[in-house]
């Protein structure tokens, strides 16, 4: 059993496994080489061989405990035939949403459209580099996907004014999202994903009164479904204000925390295994600061089941040698 599974299943505190969100990608020169030749990001995610190769790149360099599949949460709207493109320095731009067409989408058509993702998982899972390591698949949470599909772009500048206007449409989209997320998760697990992480990147946008409708109810349904597949589930509700309440309601196997959260409060209030927390910017500082901050998290969680990770994705300008140093700090702790 991998160290990550030992921490999740057996609540071990004597192990310090580490993997990093977005570890396969932008900060590695070998990834950038592939990216230069493959300018269409979605097409790259749907190239099984390249996607598998990118997933394995960090494992060739660093002693990480998991491979996280190189893909994107927006593969779901793409699979439902909503146009998705990534523009340089802008981010994702989505096309118009055809709810009638989506309502008629079948499982087979969806699976066919995103099948290369499952092939990539299979390739990764059967590679020697992932022996004794966990292969992680992932999805976007229903709320975060709803945000992208309706807003049609990243909500960094806020949601569009009439976002919540059409309640009937929102209910219908959420139903479709949930249905196809379950299909997407099952396909990933059937292909060899041993853990599923749910990314709720925009959980912090909601007011408390809306959490039941958009986060708690739809995410709980997914978590229960994943547990029935006998696969552990990690939830990352980035920006949520009350992690304790979230854990009590959703009850994932692991809670992933963002860097705005006080880890001392988490260790006091949360009973389940914890992942993440450290600010990605720390990897841009010097080795002394990196060691100090990494040790701070390791010290806080030394008697709590803990998977070392960042509180968000690794930044593109990170020097790979700093990543190597971080892995060494965690492993030597």
**What digits encode the pLDDT tens for the residues 276-307?**
999 999 999 999 999 999 999 999 999 999 99
Residues 6 or more apart in contact with residue 188 via CB below 8 angstroms: 69, 117, 118, 121, 137, 139, 196
Task: Tell me the pTM.
Answer: 0.98
Residue 89 pLDDT: 84
Q: How far apart are the C-alpha atoms of 164 and 166, rounded to whole Å?
A: 6
- CATH 3.20.20.210 for domain 3-332, yes or no, is yes
Which positions of the chain have pLDDT values less than 50?
none
Residue 53 pLDDT: 98
Residue 291 pLDDT: 98
Q: Closest Cα to residue 68, out of 232, 191, 193?
A: 193
Q: Closest Cα to residue 73, out of 156, 164, 146?
A: 146
Residue 104 pLDDT: 94
* Rounded-to-10 torsion of CA 71, 73, 74, 80: 100
Q: How far apart are the C-alpha atoms of 278 and 263, rounded to whole Å?
A: 9
Domain boundaries, the chain: 3-332
Express each pLDDT in 177-189 by its tens digit: 999 999 999 999 9
Residue 220 pLDDT: 98
Residue 88 pLDDT: 85
């Amino acid at each position: 059993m991998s160290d990550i599974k030992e921490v999740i299943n057996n609540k071990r505190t004597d192990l310090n496994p580490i993997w990093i969100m977005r570890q396969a990608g932008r900060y590695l020169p070998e990834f950038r080489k592939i990216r230069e030749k493959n300018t269409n990001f979605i097409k790259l995610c749907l190239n099984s061989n390249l996607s598998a190769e990118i997933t394995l790149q960090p494992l060739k360099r660093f002693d990480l405990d998991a491979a996280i599949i190189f893909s994107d949460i927006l593969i779901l709207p793409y699979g439902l035939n909503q146009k998705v493109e990534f523009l340089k320095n802008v981010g994702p731009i989505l096309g118009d949403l055809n709810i009638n067409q989506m309502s008629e989408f079948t499982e087979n058509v969806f699976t066919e459209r995103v099948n290369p993702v499952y092939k990539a998982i299979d390739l990764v899972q059967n590679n020697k580099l992932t022996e004794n390591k966990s292969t992680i698949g992932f999805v976007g949470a229903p709320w975060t996907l709803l945000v992208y599909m309706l807003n049609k772009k990243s909500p960094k500048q806020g949601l569009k004014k009439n976002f919540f206007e059409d309640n009937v449409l929102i209910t219908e989209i959420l139903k479709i999202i949930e249905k196809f997320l379950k299909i997407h998760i099952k396909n990933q697990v059937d292909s060899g994903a041993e853990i599923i992480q749910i990314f709720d990147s925009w959980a912090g946008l909601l007011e408390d009164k809306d959490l039941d409708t958009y986060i708690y109810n739809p995410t709980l349904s997914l978590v229960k479904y994943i547990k029935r597949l006998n696969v552990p589930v990690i939830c990352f509700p980035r920006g949520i204000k009350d992690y304790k309440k979230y854990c009590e309601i959703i009850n994932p196997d692991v809670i992933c925390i963002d860097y705005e959260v006080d880890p001392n409060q988490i260790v006091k209030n949360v009973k389940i295994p914890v992942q993440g927390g450290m600010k990605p910017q720390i990897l841009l500082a010097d080795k002394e600061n990196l060691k100090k901050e990494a040790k701070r998290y390791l010290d806080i969680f030394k008697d709590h089941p803990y998977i070392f990770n960042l509180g968000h994705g690794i930044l593109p300008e990170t020097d790979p040698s700093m990543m190597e140093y971080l892995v060494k700090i965690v492993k030597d702790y």
